[in-house]
Chains A and B, each alone.
Chain A
Amino acid sequence: MANFFPKWSNQLPWKLAVMGAVVGAILVLGITYYFTPKYTRVGYQPTQPVPFSHVIHVQQLGMDCRYCHTFVEVASHSNIPSTQSCMGCHTQIKATSPKLEAVRAAWNGGAGDGPPVNWVRIHRVPDYTYFNHAVHVNRGVSCFSCHGAVNGMQVVYQHEPQSMAWCLDCHRAPENFLRPPGEIYNMDWKPESAQAQLDLGRKFKEEWNVNPPVTCGGCHR
Chain B
Amino acid sequence: MKRDLNHPPLPDKPTLWRSLSELEKSPGFEQVLLREFPRGADVYQDSGLSKRDFMKLMGASIALAGVGGMAGCRRPEAYLVPFTKGAEWTIPGKFLYYATSMPLREGAMPLVATTVDGRPTKLEGNPLHPASTGATDAFSQASVLDLYDPQRSKQILENGQPTTPEAFAAFVADLAAKKPGGIAILAERKNSPTRERMRGLLEASYPGLLWSEFEPLGASQQRKAIAACFAEGVRLVPKFERADVVLALDSDFLSTSDYGTAYAAGFYTRRNPDQKGAPMNRLYVVENHYTPTGGIADHRLRAKADVIGEVARRLAVRVAAKSSSASLAAVLGACPTADVALDDAWIDACADDLAKNAGRSIITVGVQQPPWVQALVFSINEALGNHGTTILAAETGARPAASIVDLAKAIGAGQVQTLIILGGNPAYNAPADLDFASLLGKVPVVVRLGLFEDETSRLSRWSLPAAHYLETWGDVRAFDGTYSSIQPMVLPLWGGMSELDLCSMLLGQPVSEGPQLVQQTFAALTGATLNPPVVPPLEVPPFAQENANVQWNTFLRDGFLADSAFPLVRPAFNPSGAASLFASATPVKADAIELVFLQSSSVDDGRYACNSWLLETPDFETKVTWDNVALVSPATAKALGIRFNNYSPIYEVPLAFNKLTSDENLHTDTDFDIVADIVEISAGGKSIRAAALVAPGHADGSVSIALGYGRKGVSALLDGVGFDAYPLRESTSPRFRSGVEVKPTGETYALARTQEAKSMHGRDLVREGTLARYAEDPKFPQTMGMDGHIPPNLSLYTNPTLTSKEQWGMAIDLNTCTGCNACVVACQAENNVPVVGKDQVRKNREMAWIRIDRYFAGDPEDPEMLAQAIMCQHCENAPCETVCPVNATVHSEDGLNLMAYNRCIGTRYCANNCPWKVRRFNFFDYNQRPLEELYWGPLAKKGMADSLKMSKNPNVTVRMRGVMEKCTFCIQRIEEAKISRLVEAGPRNSEEFPIKEFKVACQQACPSNSIVFGDIKKEGSRVSRLQKSDRGYTMFKYVNASPRVTYLARIKNPNPAMPRADRVGMANGDPHGSHGSSHSTPGSAEPHKEGAHH
User: Which residues of A pack against B, CB within 8 Å?
Assistant: 40, 46, 71, 73-77, 79-85, 106-108, 112-114, 116-121, 124, 126-128, 130, 132, 134-135, 138-140, 181, 204, 207-210, 213, 215-218, 220-221
Task: Pick out which of these stretches binds chain A: B218-226, B519-527, B977-985.
Answer: B977-985
Q: Quick check: is B797 within 8 A (CB to CB) of the other chain? A: no
Also in contact, A46 and B77, with CB within 8 A (given A82-B84, A209-B989): yes
Also in contact, A71 and B93, with CB within 8 A (given A118-B79, A209-B990, A220-B957): yes
**Residue numbers in B under 8 Å from A71 (CB-CB):** 91-94
Please tell me if the beta carbons of A75 and B93 are within 8 angstroms of each other in the complex.
yes
**Residue numbers in A under 8 Å from B892 (CB-CB):** 213, 215-218
Q: How far is the CA of A140 from the CA of B890 in the complex (A)?
A: 29
**Residue numbers in B under 8 Å from A117 (CB-CB):** 81-82
**Residue numbers in B under 8 Å from A132 (CB-CB):** 979
Q: Mark B75-88, 1 if CB is under 8 A from A, else 0.
A: 10111111111100
Q: How far is the CA of A216 from the CA of B890 in the complex (A)?
A: 8
Closest CB in chain A relative to B538 CB, distance in Å: 15
Within 8 A of A (CB), among B954-980: 955-958, 968, 971-972, 975, 979
Residue of B nearest to A140 (CB): B987
Closest CB in chain A relative to B83 CB, distance in Å: 4
Also in contact, A208 and B898, with CB within 8 A (given A76-B93, A119-B82, A220-B957): no
Please tell me if the beta carbons of A119 and B84 are within 8 angstroms of each other in the complex.
no
Residue of A nearest to B903 (CB): A216
**Residue numbers in A under 8 Å from B968 (CB-CB):** 217, 221
Please tell me if the beta carbons of B987 and A75 are within 8 angstroms of each other in the complex.
no
Also in contact, A138 and B983, with CB within 8 A (given A83-B85, A130-B975): yes
Also in contact, A207 and B989, with CB within 8 A (given A119-B79, A120-B77, A217-B896): yes
Within 8 A of A (CB), among B888-921: 890-893, 896, 898-903
Q: Tell me the number of A-to-B contacts counted with CB atoms below 8 Å.
A: 142
Closest CB in chain A relative to B72 CB, distance in Å: 13
Please tell me if the beta carbons of B901 and A220 are within 8 angstroms of each other in the complex.
yes
**Residue numbers in A under 8 Å from B982 (CB-CB):** 135, 138-139
Also in contact, A216 and B898, with CB within 8 A (given A81-B82, A83-B82): yes
Q: How far is the CA of A41 from the CA of B534 in the complex (A)?
A: 49
Q: Quick check: is B991 within 8 A (CB to CB) of the other chain? A: yes
Q: Quick check: is B792 within 8 A (CB to CB) of the other chain? A: no
Q: How far is the CA of A8 from the CA of B413 in the complex (A)?
A: 109
Please tell me if the beta carbons of A220 and B84 are within 8 angstroms of each other in the complex.
no
Within 8 A of A (CB), among B76-131: 77-86, 91-94
Instruction: Count how many chain B residues have C-beta atoms less than 8 Å from C-beta atoms of the other chain.
Output: 46
Within 8 A of A (CB), among B439-489: none
Closest CB in chain A relative to B869 CB, distance in Å: 22
Q: Quick check: is B178 within 8 A (CB to CB) of the other chain? A: no
Closest CB in chain A relative to B196 CB, distance in Å: 38
**Residue numbers in A under 8 Å from B78 (CB-CB):** 120-121, 124
Q: Quick check: is B791 within 8 A (CB to CB) of the other chain? A: no
Q: How far is the CA of A132 from the CA of B980 in the complex (A)?
A: 10
Q: Quick check: is B52 within 8 A (CB to CB) of the other chain? A: no
Q: Mark B663-702, 1 if CB is under 8 A from A, else 0.
A: 0000000000000000000000000000000000000000
Residue of A nearest to B959 (CB): A128
User: Can you offer 29 A-B residue contacts whose CB atoms are under 8 A?
Assistant: A46-B77, A71-B92, A74-B91, A74-B94, A75-B91, A76-B979, A82-B82, A82-B84, A83-B82, A83-B84, A85-B86, A107-B84, A114-B84, A116-B83, A119-B79, A124-B75, A128-B957, A138-B986, A139-B986, A140-B987, A213-B892, A216-B892, A216-B900, A217-B971, A220-B898, A220-B902, A221-B955, A221-B968, A221-B971
**Residue numbers in B under 8 Å from A107 (CB-CB):** 84
Q: Quick check: is B399 within 8 A (CB to CB) of the other chain? A: no
Please tell me if the beta carbons of B900 and A79 are within 8 angstroms of each other in the complex.
no
Q: Quick check: is B2 within 8 A (CB to CB) of the other chain? A: no
Q: Quick check: is B996 within 8 A (CB to CB) of the other chain? A: no
**Residue numbers in A under 8 Å from B903 (CB-CB):** 216
Q: How far is the CA of A204 from the CA of B990 in the complex (A)?
A: 12
Closest CB in chain B relative to A220 CB, distance in Å: 5
Also in contact, A215 and B890, with CB within 8 A (given A82-B86, A134-B979): yes
Closest CB in chain B relative to A125 CB, distance in Å: 11
Residue of A nearest to B892 (CB): A215
Given A84-B86, A126-B902, 18 extra CB contacts under 8 A: A46-B77, A79-B92, A82-B85, A82-B86, A83-B83, A106-B84, A108-B84, A117-B82, A118-B80, A119-B81, A120-B77, A127-B957, A138-B982, A138-B987, A139-B987, A204-B987, A209-B991, A213-B892
Identify the 5 closest CB pairs spanning chains A and B, nearest first. Answer: A77-B93, A112-B85, A112-B84, A215-B892, A216-B900
**Residue numbers in A under 8 Å from B276 (CB-CB):** none
Central interface residue in B75, B84, B975, B990, by most chain A CB within 10 Å: B84
Residue of A nearest to B891 (CB): A215
Residue of A nearest to B990 (CB): A209
**Residue numbers in B under 8 Å from A85 (CB-CB):** 86
Closest CB in chain B relative to A212 CB, distance in Å: 10
Please tell me if the beta carbons of A74 and B983 are within 8 angstroms of each other in the complex.
yes
Central interface residue in A85, A139, A181, by most chain B CB within 10 Å: A139
Q: How far is the CA of A71 from the CA of B816 in the complex (A)?
A: 44
Q: Quick check: is B988 within 8 A (CB to CB) of the other chain? A: yes
**Residue numbers in B under 8 Å from A114 (CB-CB):** 84
Closest CB in chain B relative to A73 CB, distance in Å: 8
**Residue numbers in A under 8 Å from B890 (CB-CB):** 215-216
**Residue numbers in A under 8 Å from B975 (CB-CB):** 130, 217-218, 221
Please tell me if the beta carbons of B955 and A116 are within 8 angstroms of each other in the complex.
no
Please tell me if the beta carbons of A75 and B94 are within 8 angstroms of each other in the complex.
yes
Please tell me if the beta carbons of B957 and A82 are within 8 angstroms of each other in the complex.
no
Closest CB in chain B relative to A107 CB, distance in Å: 7
Closest CB in chain A relative to B992 CB, distance in Å: 9
**Residue numbers in A under 8 Å from B902 (CB-CB):** 126, 128, 220
Please tell me if the beta carbons of A208 and B988 are within 8 angstroms of each other in the complex.
yes
Q: How far is the CA of A207 from the CA of B988 in the complex (A)?
A: 7
Q: How far is the CA of A85 from the CA of B77 in the complex (A)?
A: 25
Please tell me if the beta carbons of B898 and A217 are within 8 angstroms of each other in the complex.
yes
Q: How far is the CA of A119 from the CA of B896 in the complex (A)?
A: 38
Residue of A nearest to B963 (CB): A128
Q: How far is the CA of A208 from the CA of B984 in the complex (A)?
A: 12
Q: How far is the CA of A51 from the CA of B83 in the complex (A)?
A: 19
Residue of B nearest to A113 (CB): B84
Q: How far is the CA of A71 from the CA of B83 in the complex (A)?
A: 14
Residue of A nearest to B831 (CB): A221
**Residue numbers in B under 8 Å from A73 (CB-CB):** 983
Please tell me if the beta carbons of B979 and A135 are within 8 angstroms of each other in the complex.
yes
Q: How far is the CA of A113 from the CA of B968 in the complex (A)?
A: 41
**Residue numbers in A under 8 Å from B900 (CB-CB):** 216, 220
Q: How far is the CA of A113 from the CA of B83 in the complex (A)?
A: 10
Please tell me if the beta carbons of B84 and A84 are within 8 angstroms of each other in the complex.
yes
Q: How far is the CA of A140 from the CA of B989 in the complex (A)?
A: 12
Residue of A nearest to B985 (CB): A208
Please tell me if the beta carbons of B91 and A80 are within 8 angstroms of each other in the complex.
no
Residue of A nearest to B87 (CB): A82
Residue of A nearest to B79 (CB): A118
Q: How far is the CA of A80 from the CA of B892 in the complex (A)?
A: 34
**Residue numbers in A under 8 Å from B991 (CB-CB):** 209
Please tell me if the beta carbons of A134 and B983 are within 8 angstroms of each other in the complex.
yes
Q: How far is the CA of A73 from the CA of B896 in the complex (A)?
A: 28
Q: How far is the CA of A130 from the CA of B971 in the complex (A)?
A: 12
Closest CB in chain B relative to A121 CB, distance in Å: 4
Residue of A nearest to B82 (CB): A80
Closest CB in chain A relative to B773 CB, distance in Å: 41
Closest CB in chain B relative to A64 CB, distance in Å: 17
Please tell me if the beta carbons of B987 and A181 are within 8 angstroms of each other in the complex.
yes
Q: How far is the CA of A134 from the CA of B91 in the complex (A)?
A: 12
Closest CB in chain A relative to B982 CB, distance in Å: 5
Residue of A nearest to B890 (CB): A216
Q: How far is the CA of A120 from the CA of B74 in the complex (A)?
A: 15
Q: How far is the CA of A215 from the CA of B900 in the complex (A)?
A: 10
Please tell me if the beta carbons of B989 and A208 are within 8 angstroms of each other in the complex.
yes
Q: How far is the CA of A75 from the CA of B956 in the complex (A)?
A: 16
Q: How far is the CA of A36 from the CA of B1003 in the complex (A)?
A: 43
